[in-house]
Amino acid sequence: MLDRITSMRVFVRAASAGSLSAAARHLGMSPAMATKHVDALEARLGVKLFHRSTRRLSLTEAGSSYLDACQRILPDIDEAEASVASQRVEATGLLRMNVPLSFGTRFVAPLMPAFSRRHPAVQVELGLNDSQIDLLDGGWDMAVRIGWLEDSLLQARRLADCTMLVCAAPRYLDERGVPRRVVELAQHNCLGYSLSTLVGSKHWTFGRAADVRIAVSGDLIANNGEALLAAAIGGQGLIYQPQFIVASALRSGELVALELDHPCISPGGIYAVYPPERRPPAKVRVMIDHLLQAFSGELPWSLELP
């Protein structure tokens, strides 16, 4: 007979991910075994918990009620087990963490040697990707995300603030002039970030309420800030990027930040996000603590500004 608690865990994970295969990957079992667990629950309860299609699972009315019950019961079981375990659970195992490419290369990867010395039993897999990935479906333990977080089941801890700047190389400004108003950006070569609707290839957004939308165009679009930074330093055009990407170039004089008549948008913050568990694994908790400590006080990139 299949373990009922494990079956409940498979059900909750599948409900969150919308996929039995994603639940299986997260729980370290085969998709066939995950299917058996859900089948066993449905047989025991005498109801269907999911509407199943070839693409995604969706909860039935009974499944929704059962999910609420499982989400109350399972954390209590976890806490009961934790209370009789050692007071200090050592962080061990593989930690899969997904991080935006530029931020991860510049500010997360340099923190890994100290983390490894502090937690030698944790192996870190650092996935660098500017696209927003699905943690549950991809089997990631946690991620760092930049911007306004969409409503989701994920838990989040704010690591730091994030600000945006419009910049260009002195050479470009000497040749094309310095824009003082956002409407003047339409006359400039604006290099677009293809993964953003706010600072993309066709429109840039300004204002504290993100209510000033300016049509722009340019001869380069990229899905990574480092590529846009290199092009801007070479004098190709204007870029609208986070401060942590452009700070070192501003300090060296390779770029100049523009002062416009409307403020740059706030892109939200920098967050650590992880699956919806009341007590995340020790390896996730210690990594979040490590990041919070690194980004407390003065931020590394703000020190690079003039």
Q: Quick one: 43 and 179 in the same domain?
A: no
Q: Per-10-residue mean pLDDT for the chain, 306 residues long?
A: 86 89 89 92 92 84 91 82 57 93 94 95 93 83 87 82 94 96 96 89 91 94 94 97 93 94 89 82 92 86 55
Q: What pLDDT, on the 0 to 100 scale, is given for residue 266? A: 85
Residues 45, 50, 51, 53, CA torsion sign: negative
Q: Quick one: 55 and 201 in the same domain?
A: no
Residue 262 forms part of a structural domain: no
Q: What pLDDT, on the 0 to 100 scale, is given for residue 304? A: 44
Dig out the tokens for 62 from the structure.
Answer: 């009974």
Q: What pLDDT, on the 0 to 100 scale, is given for residue 267? A: 79
Q: Quick one: 233 and 179 in the same domain?
A: yes
Domain CATH for 68: 1.10.10.10
Q: Quick one: 10 and 36 in the same domain?
A: yes
Domain count, the chain: 3
Q: Quick one: 156 and 231 in the same domain?
A: no
Task: Provide the residue range defining the domain that includes 275.
Answer: 93-161+270-304
Q: How many CB atoms lie within 10 A of CB 126?
A: 14
Q: What pLDDT, on the 0 to 100 scale, is given for residue 1? A: 60
Q: Quick one: 169 and 250 in the same domain?
A: yes
d(CA 151, CA 146): 14
Q: Quick one: 230 and 290 in the same domain?
A: no
